[in-house]
Structure 1
Amino acid sequence: MSAALTLQDVSVQFDKHLALDGVTLHMQAGERVALVGANGSGKSTLLRVAHGLLRVSSGRVSVASEAHQAMVFQRPHMLRTSVLRFVVWGLWLQGTPWREAHVCAMQALERVGLHDMVERSARTLSGGQQQRLALARAWALQANFVLLDEPTSSLDPHAKREVERLLAQWVAAAEVSLLFSSHNLGQVKRLATRVIYLEAGRVLADLPVYEFFNRPLGESHPEAHLFLKGELG
């Protein structure tokens, strides 16, 4: 498989704070990689570097030329517009004719169950509905490399299950690469094929999801072992 993302010895420094410290990461197309670790471990910074939102202090970042990226934030920024136009504008800005953009947007909103809210203001939606709207826009844009920063952390249990269901459907139906951060270890088990544990901006464990949760990590990855026991983070 081709590489979707490569980080080679990447560091990011904010004043005196080293947010990422020599991170090397190779992600293949079609992988579903979860970033876990305590608050401040570097998960969000890594996602923003991968999406081109942050400039690195040193090292190299390479994204596959065929990767069409979309990022969904923990609290998606909602434009002051309708649900329908929130999706349509994203398509139109990338060159889709206005009428065709409307058709594609309606299909995406149908897919996430928001087709009956097209005239609502995007800013009046609940947290779960806003996450689904952000996913609808990524869907409509035909993204094949999706980055998510704690996509369900502020949602109620029903909304979490709905967002997870949509993500699982998406990655099952298409060759989509998924890089996401989460504190919900059950969600990591359900969605990821691989887990990366970060601490103080460094990668301290990088394992297939089954090995991360089922292999004894006390000797090989002691920090990740303590994290799983709830003694870190």
Structure 2
Amino acid sequence: MSALFELKAVDVHFGRTRALAGCALCIHAGERVALVGANGSGKSTLLRTLHGLVPPTRGTVSSDPSARQAMVFQRPYMLRASALNNVALGLWLRGVPWKDAKAQALPALARVGLTSVSHRNAKALSGGQQQRLALARAWALQPQVLLLDEPTASLDPAAKREVETLMTEFADAGMTLVFSSHNLGQVKRLASRVIYLEHGQLLADRSVHDFFNGPLPLEAGMFVKGELV
């Protein structure tokens, strides 16, 4: 099976700071990959590298050019416009005429349960609603791959459940998910594969069962036990 993404010996430097070091991995269609590790371990940088926002300093990043992808950021930027127009703009930027983009935005909002707030200013929505709006904006583009950076960080339990439900439904429909998370319960619920990063290095790459039940490198084991933060 050809890889959606393949990284070979990838380093990423920001000035003197090394954010990724010698990363090598393949991600295939249909996987649900969780990136875990302490703050500063390289999770966000890896997601941005996969999405083409951060070029490697060394090594190579290959991706399937036929696979559409979208990314949802930890704090998604909301335009000072209606929820409907926030979704429509992403479609318009992809070349969809504005009238058609607004029409296509409506089912995207319905998909995430935001029809009732379609004409409200996006910046006035709650944190959970903004995160679901970001998912609608991504889903409207019909990506095969969805990258998510801490998609439920700072959300209350009800909003977290709503976002997790959407992620599960997207994955069940065949979408490939790559997401970072500090919530190990969420990782158990959503992931099929877990990648552990520390100081930019990929130290463990296991199935979700083996990550939580099998032997791990010392640092990854300490992280799972809550002894490494």
TM-score class normalised by the smaller sequence: over 0.9
Q: What is the Cα deviation at residue 87 of structure 1?
A: 0.6
Residue by residue over 1:139-165, the C-alpha shift from the partner in whole angstroms, topping out at 9 and shown as x without a partner, is: 111011110000001100000000000
What is aligned with 1:222?
A: 218
Residue by residue over 1:73-132, the C-alpha shift from the partner in whole angstroms, topping out at 9 and shown as x without a partner, is: 111000111100001111111111223222211001011111011110011111100010
What is aligned with 1:19?
A: 19
Q: What is the Cα deviation at residue 9 of structure 1?
A: 0.4
Matched, 1:179 2:181: no
Residue by residue over 1:139-194, the C-alpha shift from the partner in whole angstroms, topping out at 9 and shown as x without a partner, is: 11101111000000110000000000011011112x21111100000110111110
Residue by residue over 1:35-72, the C-alpha shift from the partner in whole angstroms, topping out at 9 and shown as x without a partner, is: 00000100011011111111211000111112111110
What is aligned with 1:66?
A: 66
Structure 1: state its 5+ residue gaps: none
Q: Give distance in 2, aligned partners of 1:102 and 1:49.
A: 31
Structure 2: state its 5+ residue gaps: none
Q: Map 1:43-58 onto structure 2 (within 5 A).
A: 43-58=43-58
Aligned partner of residue 8 in structure 2, secondary structure: strand
What is aligned with 2:159?
A: 159
What is aligned with 2:210?
A: 211
Q: Give distance in 2, aligned partners of 1:216 and 1:8.
A: 25
Residue by residue over 1:176-230, the C-alpha shift from the partner in whole angstroms, topping out at 9 and shown as x without a partner, is: 111110000011011111000000100000000000011133xxx1111111111
Misfit runs of 4+, over 6 Å: none
What is aligned with 1:119?
A: 119
Aligned partner of residue 197 in structure 1, secondary structure: strand
Residue by residue over 1:5-34, the C-alpha shift from the partner in whole angstroms, topping out at 9 and shown as x without a partner, is: 111100011122111001001001111110
What is aligned with 2:138?
A: 138
Q: Give distance in 1, aligned partners of 2:15 and 2:87.
A: 37
Amino acid at match of 2:37: G
Amino acid at match of 1:184: N
Identity %: 62
Q: Give distance in 2, aligned partners of 1:156 and 1:66.
A: 37
Aligned partner of residue 61 in structure 1, secondary structure: strand
Aligned partner of residue 4 in structure 2, secondary structure: strand
Aligned partner of residue 29 in structure 1, secondary structure: coil
Amino acid at match of 1:223: E
Length-normalised TM-score, structure 1: 0.96
Q: Does structure 2 retain, via aligned residues, the 8 Å contact 1:4–1:177?
A: no
Q: Give distance in 2, aligned partners of 1:86 and 1:161.
A: 23
Aligned partner of residue 76 in structure 1, secondary structure: coil
Count of residue pairs the alignment pairs up: 229
Amino acid at match of 2:220: A
Length-normalised TM-score, structure 2: 0.98
Amino acid at match of 2:61: V
Q: Which moved more, 1:90-99 or 1:203-212?
A: 90-99
Amino acid at match of 1:188: V
Q: Does structure 2 retain, via aligned residues, the 8 Å contact 1:67–1:144?
A: yes
Q: What is the Cα deviation at residue 4 of structure 1?
A: 0.8
